[in-house]
Structure 1
Amino acid sequence: MNLQQIGQQAKEASYELAITDTTTKNAALEAIAVELEANVAEIVAANKKDIEAGKAAGLTDALLDRLLLDETRLAGVIGDLRSVIGLSDPVGEEFDSKLLENGLKLCKRRVPVGVLGVIYEARPNVTIDIAALSLKTGNASILRGGKETINSNLVLVKFIQSALEKVGLPKTSVQYIENTDRALVGELLKLDKYVDMIIPRGNAGLQKFCKENSTIPVIIGGIGICHLFAEKTVNVEKALAIIENAKVQRPSVCNALDTLLVEADIAESFLPKLAAHLLPLGVTLVAEEKAKAILGDDALLAQEGDFSREWLSLNLGVKVVANLHEALMHIREHSSEHSDGILTNDFTVANKFINAVNSAAVYVNTSTRFTDGSQFGLGAEVAVSTQKLHARGPMGLPELTTYKWIGISDNLIRS
């Protein structure tokens, strides 16, 4: 496989996409939706091959859940795709306009980044999300999924490219690295002549590898070690419902709850209710010594490193903390700066928590499960960035653009 050729084709496609109007881009997205709907059976059949191969390879239930793309999930992904059509196209938007004393009119205008290289693992829905957001913002994309999703991704890209050709856009606007050789990831990371941004969506090892080996700017994120802090004034019944949602609804995703911190003043009464609520739902509580002393046989004793783990399962870390300060110290040490929240009726404390927690999304009396492009009204997301430059949190359309300065005058020269 010639990555240089793929990169060159993507760059050429990006030039055409950059001058493609919104109507045509939206037509391309609708064509992709129609193509996917017309081929649901083939897509689901390809995904079943991946599921069976994953089971044979001993993949965990969490990974198999991420891999699954059945009729229901595919319908949801297509719905998200169509919602992108209805979103405002940021490309061409002008802002920070000013008129200088010499008559020079200046503004910033949003433009596509260019070519995105996206590396991801067992999430075939990402293929559609990336294609949709990239196309809407006039970016070409080079996709590299994991070997566990190869059948699903190949068939999805086939239909995406078919739809692009039907509306007159280059099919090389969305390309897929079909060879699963991991050496090609390293080669992609050096393709700075053609690729403008690398977005890895995967485990900490993948993120670290990309950060250390890329000659292209890398967006880091997608690893969730998420916390909720139950403060002493919390409404217990409402808090239990939030904790259940954050932990149980879909435990294998990055915005699922990993650790619950409970203020010592309420631990004796709160923790038994927590166990009574969550244990019947299949949750395993993994508690530090103080919490274990209260929970007894209802919890396992936490081992070294457990509070720095993204569980991706129905395990939940539980720790008793003395106060807000100790909760913040724990979060600063263990959080991946993805999503953290406080459960409280004291909004003075809540504001202190908001200001002190250095995460991409900070919540008050809200499930961490909302850190998601669709839930944030972005239509879909290309990633959840946990860094501070150039984007943070769920990355929707504006985060896939940059800007150029535009200067207009009446034949002005510099004196």
Structure 2
Amino acid sequence: MTDEVAKAVRECALAARRAAPSLAAADGAAVDAALTGMADRLLAERAAVLDANAADIAKARDEGMSAGLLDRLTVTDARLTGMAEQLRLLAGAPHPEREIPLSSPAEGLRLVERRRPVGVIGANYEARPNVTVDVASQLVKSRNAGVLRTGSAALGSAQRLLEKVVVPALAEAGIDADVVQLVPRAEREAAAALVGQPDLVPLVILRGSGESTRSLAAEAARHGVRTLAHADGGGVLYLAEDADQGRVRTLVVDSLDRLGVCNRLNLLLIHAAAYDRLWPVVADALAERDVRPSLPPHDHPIGYEWALDADREATVTVAPVDGLREAAAIANERTSGLAAGIATEDPATAAEFFDAYEGTGVFWNAPTRLLDGFKLFGVPETGINLDRVPGPRGPVTYTDLYVRQYAVLPANL
């Protein structure tokens, strides 16, 4: 790592730390005014943002970026409007209670749980300009300062969003605009520097391709930095023996509206006794989305995530299984554990699948594409955490970005 890259990251972290008290002390009205201001400026600065994004897209296309990654990188007029709508919804969302009464540990005393900001939270993500606004807004709502780092593909778009949208909205709301920093360096070493500063950035949100994110999580652990990592995905759909053909077609089509996202349909498991009945429906639905099936015998792991394969992302793995237990075992043991769904008309079968699957999201006659902070909770997310330990799991939003503090004080105060 060059000294210049490490210095740039540390300067951002120091600036965010100095500004953090301004945001931590801001009242709810100021925070929500900042978010509303971001929404207003997204629309007012539409042309500037789209121009910067067009330049990023042109550069990425010249460098041979795949269609799926280009889709992630692209900010269309409609997507920009959607980003503004999400900011307004976030501004209107309730602020978590800062103190929650718990009990009376002794006579004349009471115990409360206080929720405090982490302080400075880092975020590393790649070719997704919208994440700049998603994460920045979540940090502001939770009163945490932030250091954002993105790669070269989206850096131009991210810089324009920060300069034209985030910074002026914070300043107008009376909040120190330095609370949200964007690392100005595109080198990959900047990501390693971000996860190596436990004194300044104790928590880092990691979003990106599986191997690079896992590597950063391991690097962070070596430095004592905690991470909320979103490394792997891939939705699973199991078609039970009684699955309705019309419902199956709808689920497959709706699960493949976008191919470069983590919660798309990735692995389709069909009860062997229903395979001949359901396969023609599945094949027709895949063809409608221009997606090819990978059929047995597979030349890849059954849980291989196609969204991360730039050359073959328009693929879904299809396999017959003997029944629900085998389907759940495959989803548990051979996929990331992001999300799995079942198509069945029998509530008892659905309940059995729900109990058998251990992953983050489970769905009955619904697409795994719904495992998303905005679709589930009506607010943007920082990412989807798959940890199988206590703590934030699933879509992580502003309500998760705090630390607990326990206070004992006189009962009459």
For the aligned pair, the TM-score class normalised by the smaller chain equals: over 0.9
**How many Å separate the matches in 2 of 1:53 and 1:103?**
67
Displacement of 1:91 after TM fit?
A: 5.1
Counterparts in 2 of 1:400 and 1:310: CA distance versus 1, 3 Å:
farther
The residue that corresponds to 1:371 in the other structure is 371
Q: How far does residue 196 in structure 1 lie from its aligned partner after superposition?
A: 2.4
Which residue does the alignment assign to 1:397?
Answer: 398
Choose 3-12 or 15-24, whichever is displaced more.
3-12
Change (3 A) 1:310 1:333: farther
Shift in alpha-carbon separation, 1:124–1:29, aligned structure 2, 3 A: same
Q: Which residue of 1 aligns with 2:135?
A: 130
Measured after TM superposition, the shift of residue 369 of structure 1 is 0.7
Q: Structure 2 counterpart of 1:67, which letter?
A: L
Distance 2:169 2:285 in 1: 48
Q: Which residue of 2 aligns with 1:294?
A: none
Tell whether the 8 Å contact from 2:147 to 2:180 is kept in structure 1 after alignment. yes
The residue number in structure 2 matching 1:308 is 304
In the alignment, which residue of structure 1 is the partner of 2:156? 151
Paired residue secondary structure (1:47):
helix
Aligned to 2:238: 229
Which consecutive residues of structure 2, in runs of 5 or more, have no partner in the other structure?
Answer: 1-6
Q: Distance in 1 between the 2:200 and 2:97 partners?
A: 20
1:246 counterpart = 2:255 = yes
1:36–1:263: structure 2 CA closer, same or farther, 3 Å change rule? same
Asked whether the 8 Å contact 1:225–1:334 carries over to 2, the reply is no
Q: Matched residue of 1:352: which SS? A: helix
| Letter of the structure 2 residue corresponding to residue 264 of structure 1 | A
Q: Which residue of 1 aligns with 2:124?
A: 119
The match for 1:207 among 203, 213, 216 is 213
Q: Secondary structure at the match of 2:400?
A: helix
* C-alpha deviation, 1:100, in angstroms: 2.6
Three-state SS of the structure 1 residue aligned to 2:102 is strand
Q: What is the distance in 2 between the residues matched to 1:179 and 1:229?
A: 44
- Cα displacement (A) at 1:23: 0.3
1:95 Cα shift? Answer: 2.6
The one-letter code of the counterpart of 1:272 is: P
Separation in 2, partners of 1:71, 1:378: 21
- Distance in 2 (alpha carbons) for counterparts of 1:114 and 1:359: 30
Cα distance per residue 1:150-194 (max 9 Å; x no partner)? 110010011211221222211111100011111121111111111
| Per-residue deviation, 1:336 | 0.8
The separation in 1 between residues aligned to 2:51 and 2:322, in whole angstroms, is: 53
Deviation at 1:197, TM superposition (A): 0.9
User: Which whole-Å deviations, capped at 9, do the CAs of 1:228-282 have from their partners, x for residues lacking one?
Assistant: 00000111111210111112x1111111010100001100111122112321431
31, 39, 46: which one aligns with 2:37: 31
Using the TM superposition, give the Cα deviation of residue 210 of structure 1 relative to its aligned residue in structure 2, in angstroms: 1.6
Match of 1:293 in 2: none
Distance 1:278 1:184, change over 3 A: closer
Matches within 5 A, 1:3-402: 3-90=9-96, 92=98, 94-95=99-100, 97-159=102-164, 160-214=166-220, 215=223, 216-247=225-256, 249-289=257-297, 302-305=298-301, 307-311=303-307, 313-387=313-387, 388-402=389-403
Aligned residue identity for 1:329: A
- Of the structure 1 ranges 324-333 and 74-83, higher mean CA displacement relative to structure 2 is found in 324-333
Is contact 1:32–1:163 with CA below 8 Å preserved after alignment?
yes
User: TM-score scaled by structure 1?
Assistant: 0.92
Displacement of 1:212 after TM fit? 1.0
8 A Cα contact 1:222 1:254, kept in partner:
no
Deviating more after overlay: 254-263 vs 2-11: 2-11
CA distance in 1 between counterparts of 2:72 and 2:412 reads 58
How many residues are matched?
Answer: 398
- Root-mean-square deviation (Å): 1.7
1:126/1:148 CA distance change after superposition, 3 Å: same
Aligned 8 A contact 2:230 2:385 in 1: yes
- Closer, same or farther: CA 190–389 of 1 in aligned 2, 3 Å: farther
With the length of structure 2 as denominator, give the TM-score of the two structures: 0.93
Deviation per CA, 1:370-410, whole angstroms, max 9, x where unpaired?
A: 01111112411011111134210111121112221121117
Amino acid at match of 1:309: E
Percent of pairs identical after alignment? 28
For 1:174 and 1:397, the matched residues in 2 are separated by 15
Please state whether the residue corresponding to 1:358 is helix, strand or coil: coil
Distance 2:85 2:345 in 1: 36
Q: CA deviation at 1:101?
A: 3.3
1:306 Cα offset (Å): 5.2
Amino acid at match of 1:224: G
The one-letter amino acid paired with 2:135 is: I
Q: Conserved in 1, the CA contact under 8 Å of 2:248 and 2:281?
A: no
